[in-house]
Amino acid sequence: MKWPIFIIIIYMCSSCTTESGTTIPVEYAGALNNMMQNGDISAKISLDTLSDKDHIYALGAISELKGEIQVFDGQPIISYAQEGSVALNSTFQVDATLLVYSRIDQWIKIPVGGNIKSMAQLENYVRDEAKKNGINVEQPFPFKIEGNMESVQWHVIDWPEGDTEHTHEKHIASGPQGESTYVKASILGFYSNHHKGIFTHHTSNMHLHANIPLHKVAGHVDDVTLGNGCILSLPLITSTND
């Protein structure tokens, strides 16, 4: 009787390992709950602490909620409001009240079908593809979407000084916002089904930022409809990662 039980235990453990996949290292500083519940929008990390690290991908919000942060492969794109429009620069010399980041050396590229018409569909697609490619979807991981977008709804936060009542709707309305249609864009996202209120909002398992060069806009993504020919990039799992 002991041997069959022993074999079952080994099988169960082996199945858990196979199902979970490889965990991608993701770090973060700050939390949305601190903003929403406590009004804490103070600096939690300096972006400059990542400036000497290779292949960093990051997104977040500037301290005091005075703009948005993106880092694509070690290249920062900082967006902020300037006279009602979006201004951009490429400095690491900013502090973040929220930042989520990861170091990814290599990506696997996956062609996306033209049937992703909502954030909910994109969330399910990213999760399923990550699982197929050996990523542990019970832990956070970054991803990219690049190509032609039918529509990207975006905003760049510009929180009024002294306002301590935070809502997601007020965050969107506080600064420049818009919808870019039929444009090429690069979207950086982080997926997690365990970090709602930390670095994803309570209604989503994703946090997305987009860079839209044609419109000279980079900011938080509120909704997106993908066009034909987009590419999903996921962290490449190699034997050295296992």
Structural domain boundaries, residue 138: 27-235
In a domain? residue 173: yes
CB of 53 within 8 A of CB of 38? no
Average pLDDT for runs of 10 along the chain of length 242 = 34 42 96 91 97 97 97 98 95 97 97 87 96 96 97 96 88 94 97 94 93 96 94 86 44
**Cα(180)–Cα(92) distance, integer angstroms:** 27
Torsion of CA 70, 118, 149, 172, to 10 degrees: -40
Output the pLDDT for position 168.
86
Element (H, E) at 43: none
Q: List own/partner pairs for 77-80 with CB under 8 A and 24 or more apart.
A: 77/211, 77/218, 79/156, 79/217, 79/218, 79/219, 80/156, 80/158
List the structure tokens of 50: 């990542």
Output the pLDDT for position 203.
87
Torsion of CA 116, 148, 199, 166, to 10 degrees: -100
Report the candidate in 195, 128, 159 with the shortest Cα–Cα distance to residue 65.
159
In a domain? residue 132: yes
In a domain? residue 1: no
**Cα(69)–Cα(57) distance, integer angstroms:** 10
Burial of 169 per CB tally in 10 Å (0-12, 13-18, 19+): exposed
Output the pLDDT for position 48.
97
Number of domains in the chain: 1
In a domain? residue 141: yes
In a domain? residue 89: yes
Give pLDDT tens digits for 122-161. Answer: 999 999 999 999 999 999 999 999 999 999 999 999 999 9
Name residue, tokens 């970090």.
195
Neighbouring CB atoms inside 10 A of 181's CB total 13
**Cα(56)–Cα(131) distance, integer angstroms:** 23
In a domain? residue 201: yes
Helices and strands of the chain, counted as H and E runs? 4, 13
Output the pLDDT for position 208.
98
Output the pLDDT for position 145.
97
pTM score above 0.85: yes
In a domain? residue 14: no
Cβ neighbours of residue 166 under 8 Å, at least 6 residues apart?
35, 36, 39
Output the pLDDT for position 181.
97
The CATH number for 63's domain is 3.30.1330.80
**Cα(136)–Cα(98) distance, integer angstroms:** 24
In a domain? residue 5: no
Report the candidate in 184, 189, 36 with the shortest Cα–Cα distance to residue 119.
189
